[in-house]
Amino acid sequence: MITGGNLFTRVTRAVGKVTGRPLAFCIALTVIVCWAITGPMFGFSDTWQLVINTGTTIITFLMVFLIQATQNRDQMALQLKLDELIRAVDGAHNAMLDLEELTEEEIEIVHHHYTRLADLARRQARAGECDTDKPDLNPFDPDSHHEIGKTPSRVVT
């Protein structure tokens, strides 16, 4: 039983559960096969074609909204779980919370920072060095990026 949320949320969750099962696929496949088999009986008429075109168009149109609503809800839940992990882990940068709300440019700055950290870790691993250190740098401060690879003399928050 699906409970909680407004009517739209309850309906999208229920329809998503039903349409995501193998039985729903089999039913859809059966409808298509029956439609194809009846083609000769109706002389492959325009009406015969219009029935399947209209039906599939309506279903596709509604499924787009259902899929988007489901993905939005799932993505938000996933982001909240990740935010909680960041918040709960000692030493994690709380500035990384709600990162998906930043602008593209801000996300690119953070991405560049972590790309450089990954490159450094790979070089250290190839050289047989430990790659588990955690340079405590501010990922939002481009001026601190030149320090990657050095032991920080201070903690940047």
Higher pLDDT, 71 or 132: 71
What secondary structure letter does DSSP report for 132? Answer: -
Global pTM value: 0.62
Banded model confidence at residue 156, pLDDT cuts 50, 70, 90:
very low
The pLDDT mean for the chain works out to 84
At residue 134, the pLDDT reads 62
- How far apart are the C-alpha atoms of 108 and 146, rounded to whole Å? 16
Cβ of 124: how many Cβ atoms within 10 Å? Answer: 15
What is the average pLDDT across 79-103? 90
Please state the domain extents for the chain: 7-88, 102-147
Phi first, then psi: give them for residue 6, nearest 5 degrees.
Answer: -80, 175
